Amino acid sequence: MAVIDDPRTHFPLGDPEANPFPAAGENSALDIPKAVESMILSASGWRTVFTASGDEEDKRPEIAPVYRAVSALIADSFADFLAEKTAGNGDRARSGERSSPLIVLGIDSRPTGTAIADIMLRVFAGRGFKVQYLFITAAPEIMAYSREGVDGFVYISASHNPVGHNGVKFGLSDGGVIPGSDAAVLIAKFREKCKHPDAAEHAASLIAACPAEALASVYTETPLWKAEAVKRYGSFTREVVAGTADKKKQDELFDIISESIRLRPLGIVCDMNGSARTLSIDADFMEKLGIDFHAINNIPRRIVHAIIPEPENLVYCADEMERLHQKSLHPDRSEFSLGYMPDCDGDRGNIVYWNDRKGTAEVLKAQEVFALSVMSELAYLAYRGESSSDQLPPGKTAVAVNDPTSMRSDDIAAVFGAAAARAEVGEANVVNLARNLRGKGYTVRILGEGSNGGNITHPAAVRDPLNTIFALIKLLVLRDEGGKQGLFHIWCSRSGQENAYRSDFTLADVIATLPVYTTTGVSEPRALLQIRETNHGNLKLRYQKIFGAEWEKKRDELKRSYGITGWEAVGYTGTEETRNLSDFSLSGKGGLKIIFYDSEKKPAAFIWMRGSGTEPVFRILCDVKGDNPEMEAELLRWHTEMIRQADS
């Protein structure tokens, strides 16, 4: 038996007969507990640098021997967890369905993913689990696929981190990552296995237990399952964009989109940057609607620049849009008016647009991307006559966001009579907050981490650049017709900006109507601090004392310069928000926000802090109402000084 290749990419999947574990005698030298200490383990994902060299920018596929053992123990921990979750499913067994749990596994486009997957597949198959391997697949794709007929999924990815990093996300059958409570159980299982004296030998035995024929069968079936995942993802994307499972209503919406694009040509530029989306539905989905789709860096694993889709990396997409406009036969028309760049796993994509007012391509800030998505999806509910829901009384619509999301999203939600609820940073926290709200009778059409851009559109449970792009497309194509207002007109009317509406509007006109805020970008150097204190509760307690003294010294100046007359501390832990926090340390490793109020007791600004759960940094941010970069810079500087003093 030889190496089995993926027929689409010709990349190797693996050699079922080649044992990937170190040779006998090497196991005793593996310091697994030390390796685990360097890992970030959170509900949002587990991550570390897996490369054999230890270099986070290394693009080679080899992983360090100790992380081969760690990969096996990760799989073993999830197998235990899933077996407990599915135990006693007698109805399934009595109906003649499979009794062994079914796990779907996929990877993003990082080179190290292949080796990690090979080990995890061996563990699952060796333990008797049914396994479907999708190979390189976008995160929204595997999660859409996992909504039907599977027990759990494992996705190997480090999202936006540098290429030498890798990690794992886990989910069950609802299309989202496991909640924090389950993540804590799984992390505890993993830590317990890793600290056992015989951990390396146990890992070796798990890997050896897999028959070569079983792994060969998994690899041989990979193209079949990948094709099915692509098919299901396309169908699910139609449901998400349309907001209904009714295929007739879906067709009605997409017919409107197609006809509008026929009359007003639309082109979209995508910088794939070698991501998992190179093998997904993007081009086919858009071209079927008549959208002119143009991709660059569209070869999987051809990662040509930094992965994180922030402004410094969106310039490549903007440059390509500029080039296309320069060579256009119709330079006065803006066919290529939207662009996006996904991260490596393809669940996050921020936006470039053609500013026809300036005749140039511009990068939208992450907070603006999310705000536009909120505007679009809430207006879409109104367009369909479902501002709250057909079954719910007015006022029962909500938007779920993370704690550093700009207050501009709150302002947009208020225009549509929707509540804005906040959770701690972390996609799992926001998704679970939305679930909790739905359990209380709220319609939650849109949610997400506005600080990072992108959005999650229900019933999806993960960010997806296609859903973000189509939120903007709906704003552009669902226009006034037959006496019915289109999305942008609905927004203008309800926000008191009727004079801003014109029938031939462009996205630049829409952007100009957003509530104005000045917000720190999450990837700015100012937004990242390195701190020594590992107990964030203690750090925040010291910060509280410093802030109290500083407030007394600066309160008159803050009132005179910025109209600030009061403040409130708010803590965020998981899905819980604690207002009027009297003890800052109670927010622990969660988010801590100081909201500043004006003389009318309305929020004028906030400063925020939280240690990252996926990177070794401490994140800070400031959000200020209005176009006031001086105020944002001063409040963030003050915030930074107090944190550094608390850390000294």
- What is the C-alpha separation between 58 and 33, in angstroms, rounded? 24
Mean pLDDT along residues 273-287: 97
**Residue of 230, 275, 238, 259 whose CA lies nearest to 470:** 238
pLDDT grade for 94, boundaries at 50, 70 and 90? very low
- What is the C-alpha separation between 122 and 131, in angstroms, rounded? 10
The CATH 3.30.310 domain(s) of the chain lie at 525-647
**Residue of 336, 295, 285, 290 whose CA lies nearest to 316:** 295
The owner of tokens 């060579």 is 327
Quick: pLDDT tens for 567-577.
Answer: 999 999 999 99
Q: Which amino acid is at 368?
A: E
Quick: pLDDT tens for 607-628.
Answer: 999 987 656 679 999 999 999 9
Mean pLDDT along residues 228-247: 97
Burial class (CB in 10 A: 0-12, 13-18, 19+), 439: exposed
The domain made up of 365-515 has a fold known as Alpha-D-Glucose-1,6-Bisphosphate; Chain A, domain 3 (3.40.120)
pLDDT grade for 393, boundaries at 50, 70 and 90? very low
Q: Is the pLDDT of residue 102 over 70?
A: yes
Q: From residue 158, how far is each of 40, 233, 467 by CA, in Å?
A: 11, 21, 21
**Residue of 126, 610, 122 whose CA lies nearest to 404:** 610
Mean pLDDT along residues 403-411: 97
- For 4-225, which CATH class? alpha beta
Within 8 A by CB and 6+ apart from 173, the residues are: 146, 147, 150, 151, 152
Mean pLDDT along residues 351-357: 94
- Give the pLDDT of residue 392: 38
The CATH 3.40.120.10 domain(s) of the chain lie at 4-225, 243-361, 365-515
Q: Evaluate whether 454 touches 277 at the Cβ level (below 8 Å).
A: no
What are the strands, taking DSSP E only, across 439-575?
A: 446-448, 456-457, 517-519, 528-529, 566-573
The helix (H) or strand (E) run that includes residue 438 is helix 427-439
3-state secondary structure 219-257: HHHHHHHHHHHHHHHHHHHHHHHHCCCCHHHHHHHHHHH
Quick: pLDDT tens for 362-389.
Answer: 999 999 999 999 999 999 999 998 654 3
Of the candidate ranges 171-185, 314-328, 387-401, the one whose mean pLDDT is the lowest: 387-401
Quick: pLDDT tens for 104-153.
Answer: 999 999 999 999 999 999 999 999 999 999 999 999 999 999 998 899 99
Q: Evaluate whether 88 touches 194 at the Cβ level (below 8 Å).
A: no
What are the strands, taking DSSP E only, across 108-193?
A: 130-136, 152-156, 165-171
Mean pLDDT along residues 474-502: 96
| C-alpha dihedral, 177 to 520 to 540 to 618, nearest 10° | 60
**Residue of 141, 127, 356 whose CA lies nearest to 232:** 141
Q: Evaluate whether 399 touches 444 at the Cβ level (below 8 Å).
A: yes
Q: Is the pLDDT of residue 335 over 70?
A: yes
Residue-averaged pLDDT of the chain: 92
- What is the C-alpha separation between 8 and 346, in angstroms, rounded? 19
**Which architecture characterizes domain 525-647 according to CATH?**
2-Layer Sandwich (3.30)
Alpha helices, H only, 478-592: 487-494, 507-511, 536-562
Q: Evaluate whether 471 touches 377 at the Cβ level (below 8 Å).
A: yes
Q: Is the pLDDT of residue 330 over 60?
A: no
- What is the C-alpha separation between 156 and 594, in angstroms, rounded? 36
Quick: pLDDT tens for 585-606.
Answer: 999 999 999 999 999 999 999 9
Q: Is the pLDDT of residue 502 over 60?
A: yes
Q: Is the pLDDT of residue 56 over 70?
A: yes
Q: Evaluate whether 253 touches 169 at the Cβ level (below 8 Å).
A: no
Q: Is the pLDDT of residue 284 over 80?
A: yes
- Give the pLDDT of residue 645: 97
Helix axes 629-647, 536-562, angle to 10 degrees: 150
- What is the C-alpha separation between 339 and 476, in angstroms, rounded? 14
Quick: pLDDT tens for 2-32.
Answer: 899 999 999 999 999 999 986 545 565 689 9
- In the chain, what percentage of residues exceed pLDDT 90? 83
Q: Evaluate whether 63 touches 71 at the Cβ level (below 8 Å).
A: yes
**Structure tokens given for 88:** 């006693």
Q: What are phi and psi of 520, to 5 degrees?
A: -65, 135
**Residue of 427, 428, 410 whose CA lies nearest to 419:** 410
- CATH 3.40.50.300 for the 243-361 domain, yes or no: no
Q: Is the pLDDT of residue 347 over 70?
A: yes
Q: Evaluate whether 401 touches 453 at the Cβ level (below 8 Å).
A: no
